Amino acid sequence: MAHKIAAVIDWILGFNGCLMIATATLQIVSRALDRPIAWTVELLTFLGLFSVVPGVASHFLKGSETRVGIFVDYFPRVLKNLTEFAVNALCTVFGALLLYATWDYTGLVGMGNPEQYLPFPPETNLIPVYILSAAIIFNGLWNLWRIVTGKPESEGGNR
């Protein structure tokens, strides 16, 4: 299931990249014609945010995130499992804290309505952080389950 969600995110990222190229081209051409279009800068910033953070989430969902195996793989099996368990427990807690902090920030600050050219509310910029938080939590819980059940880790994560 995680690979299917990651595949959907990857497809959206590909479409997003095409939109970024089209928007940047429009920005360059409009500036060359001395008629710059103001919203292109904001749209590129928005699309950039929606490419980097979900891209990282996709890696977590695929199980292809960078590991500390260069150190941990040389530990004795018991120490390796304990270290991986602790790291993944911290990872899960971090994901939960990131999710809570994003939600709390939205609720407490209210985000206001700063002047902007795009029709999206400012809270829309937090959607990638919610996606990343959920992916981190899923990855941490998956690895904790894998360690507890004694299943070996496979690169690319068969999830």
55-99 residue pLDDT tens: 888 888 887 776 666 777 788 888 888 888 998 899 899 999 988
> Which region among 1-15, 74-88, 96-110 has the lowest average model confidence (pLDDT)?
96-110
- Asked whether residue 154 is assigned to any structural domain, the reply reads no
Residues whose CB is less than 8 angstroms from the CB of residue 77 and which lie 6 or more positions away in sequence, other chains included:
none
The answer as to whether 46 is a domain residue is: yes
In a domain, 50, yes or no: yes
Per-residue model confidence (pLDDT) at position 146: 87
d(C-alpha 29, C-alpha 121), whole Å: 28
Query: Considering the domain boundaries, does residue 19 fall inside one?
Result: yes
Nearest C-alpha neighbor of 52 from the set 117, 115, 131: 131
Rounded to an integer, what is the distance from CA 142 to the centroid of its chain? Answer: 17
Number of structural domains, the chain?
1
Q: Are 100 and 52 in contact (CB under 8 A)?
A: no
Residue 60 falls inside a structural domain: yes
Task: Evaluate if pTM is beyond 0.75.
Answer: no
The confidence score (pLDDT) of residue 29 equals 92
Binned at pLDDT 50, 70 and 90, residue 103 comes out as: confident
Whether the Cβ atoms of residue 122 and residue 116 lie closer than 8 Å to each other: yes
Q: Which domain holds residue 39?
A: 2-149
Per-residue pLDDT, 90 = 93
pLDDT, greater one: 155 or 35 = 35
